[in-house]
Structure 1
Amino acid sequence: MNVTIDKNSGYCFGVEFAIQMAEDELEEVQELYCLGDIVHNSMEVQRLYNKGLRIIDREQLQELRDCKVLIRAHGEPPETYQTALENNLELIDASCPVVLKLQNRVKHAYDNVKTQNGQIVLYGQQGHAEVIGLAGQTRNEAIVVTTEEDLDQLDYTRPITLFSQTTKSTKGFYKMKELIEERVAAARNSGMETFNLDANDSICRQVSNREPQLDKFAQLHDVVIFVSGKKSSNGKALYAVCQRVNPNSYFVENAQELDMAWFKDAASVGICGATSTPMWLMQEVADAIQAQRHPVAE
């Protein structure tokens, strides 16, 4: 049995950049605060905790004074920066450049549509760190939609500008765009005055390109082990790709969750993961399989 780690899996550059910034700072200080999990992977969070990275929430941020706080790749809303000014906090800003660019686009669009009584709609996961940062650019007036039922919140007689969380599925975004256009058309056919949808595909291409790559990888192996934190939105989307093309796909957070019965009669096993999955963790999973089955590793 051959065990192969997908060379296209692992950290995107935004996550890798944030973790490197954290490790660089921790070489200078014994303890560094981070607003929220630096990455949606509990194993990596624990590794960095052992180095001195302390995770805090927004309530705890209000209590901090005169110290350093890391802003993770997901980005933050404007009020976080205001709190930093008021509390004399030094922000180590590791916001992903792709997310920062999208925040600027959302703010610019919000300023424009306000003059037309328009709506900013964000296709994403309610409560996700990136979505909180994006909604903050609209004074939290943006409407977050995840499912078709969420579209009932929209007023189809007012202008609609649609953006996507950068880590959402491309297929999901275009399906949501289609559903909104159908509702706009229905309102128009009923005699209402409507506006054309302004849809912006703001999904990170480093993320979206992994879908076709993973599709091919999953087809090459008898069994696929997808390694990811359960909190990862990107992990859920990419695991769905594996399941769609290979029913023998299994989701694990670490090697302890492996079931060796999965590999019975398997000649080839593929190990892959999310943009928040460290390569060292995928290697641990591969090593655990090898230790039990004595395969030839590639």
Structure 2
Amino acid sequence: MSYNLTVTIDKDSGFCFGVVYAIEMAEDILDHEDYLYCLGDIVHNDEEVRRLTDKGLRIIDHEQLKSLRNEKVLVRAHGEAPSTYELALKNELILIDASCPVVLKLQNRIKNSHDEGEPILIFGKHGHAEVIGLQGQTDGQAIVFQDLSELDNVDLPSSFTLYSQTTKSTDKFYHIKDQLLSRGYEVKANDTICRQVSNRYGDLEKFVVNFDKIIFVSGKKSSNGKVLYDVCKKYNDNAYFISNVEEIDFSWFNPNDRVGICGATSTPMWLMEQVKAFLLHH
């Protein structure tokens, strides 16, 4: 059966500048060298990681980092805690720092708050690379929560500074701030959400209403992928989340459907192109 689909890729989707910067840095080095270590997945997208590991990128974790000596190691856009830089000095590692400027600015603000003795709360995903780097600025003293309910049984100080992981939803951040204020806390809130992510909410909202079906392409580990998919789903009920073409199910479509393809800030354009080609050839 031929579906005769019309398929359009959202021109505003694809890598944010932090990811572009990290990947270009890795590719520049791999053009001249056989391999390059990278601390953690360079981007939360398995397909793109595979493309780069084929070129010689070697993904390692913090445990493996400890046993390296005299090697080059890429710090990805998500940033790292101070302890990583200390270890690199000790083990004579050259760090190629591709930390995103938005994340670095936030790390700096959190460090200054902490140095001034302010209690700190971070709205972010537990165990997420960026959040570990942020919490590291406070010697692990900041309270991290991804849901307000987590704070119900916590003895919080009467006043504190609230920060957010850069890829969280702005609406949720302000809702959390209001809730904490209504509970009688004195909250100094720093909206540190990346505008490259939050501007996409509005862009996606306008994009997804024009189609019968939406295919949202993102890695399962992507934080902003989850946030942006929720935006799609809110404005177009027929939105489907996939990580690669194998996950496409043609029972989603009717003949002559108009299909829109969009993705996270960690979704490569080539992957969305691949999804488009796959849909058009069926």
Q: For structure 2, which runs of at least 5 residues remain unmatched after alignment?
A: none
SS in 1 for 2:20: helix
| Cα distance, 1:152 vs structure 2 | 2.7
Q: TM-score, normalised on structure 2?
A: 0.96
Instruction: Say whether 1:14 aligns with 2:14.
Output: no
- Give the residue type in structure 1 aligned to 2:132: I
Partner of 1:219: 209
Contact 1:228 1:251 in 2 (8 A): yes
Distance (whole Å) between structure 1 residues aligned to residue 219 and residue 186 of structure 2: 39
Distance (whole Å) between structure 1 residues aligned to residue 153 and residue 95 of structure 2: 36
- Cα 1:29–1:212, aligned 2, differ >3 Å: closer, same or farther? same
**Large movers: runs of 4+ above 4 Å:** none
Instruction: Say whether 1:25 aligns with 2:29.
Output: yes
Percent of matched pairs sharing the same residue? 59
1:205-243 Cα distance to aligned partner (Å, 9 max, x none): 011000111011111100000000000000000001111
Contact 1:222 1:266 in 2 (8 A): no
Distance (whole Å) between structure 1 residues aligned to residue 111 and residue 156 of structure 2: 21
Q: TM-score, normalised on structure 1?
A: 0.91
Contact 2:167 2:197 in 1 (8 A): yes
Q: How does 1:216-295 map to 2 (within 5 A)?
A: 216-292=206-282
Partner of 1:55: 59
Partner of 2:194: 204
Contact 1:151 1:180 in 2 (8 A): no
- Cα 1:162–1:273, aligned 2, differ >3 Å: closer, same or farther? same
1:31-90 Cα distance to aligned partner (Å, 9 max, x none): 110000000000000000000001000000001001000000000000000000000000
Partner of 2:97: 93
Distance (whole Å) between structure 2 residues aligned to residue 135 and residue 158 of structure 1: 20
Partner of 1:127: 127
Distance (whole Å) between structure 2 residues aligned to residue 283 and residue 12 of structure 1: 17
Q: For structure 1, which runs of at least 5 residues remain unmatched after alignment?
A: 186-194, 293-298
Distance (whole Å) between structure 1 residues aligned to residue 267 and residue 221 of structure 2: 11
Distance (whole Å) between structure 2 residues aligned to residue 76 and residue 196 of structure 1: 30
Contact 2:119 2:157 in 1 (8 A): no
Contact 1:223 1:266 in 2 (8 A): no
Partner of 2:9: 5
- Give the residue type in structure 2 aligned to 1:133: G
Partner of 1:170: 170
Contact 1:25 1:32 in 2 (8 A): yes
- Give the residue type in structure 1 aligned to 2:141: E
- Give the residue type in structure 1 aligned to 2:24: Q
- Give the residue type in structure 2 aligned to 1:104: N
SS in 2 for 1:11: coil
- Cα 1:182–1:271, aligned 2, differ >3 Å: closer, same or farther? same
Contact 2:43 2:266 in 1 (8 A): yes
Distance (whole Å) between structure 2 residues aligned to residue 178 and residue 266 of structure 1: 46
Contact 1:163 1:199 in 2 (8 A): yes
Distance (whole Å) between structure 1 residues aligned to residue 212 and residue 278 of structure 2: 18
Distance (whole Å) between structure 2 residues aligned to residue 41 and residue 82 of structure 1: 28
Provide the alpha-carbon RMSD of the alignment: 1.1
Instruction: Say whether 1:71 aligns with 2:61.
Output: no
SS in 2 for 1:126: coil
| Cα distance, 1:196 vs structure 2 | 2.1
- Give the residue type in structure 1 aligned to 2:172: G
SS in 2 for 1:272: strand
- Give the residue type in structure 2 aligned to 1:267: D
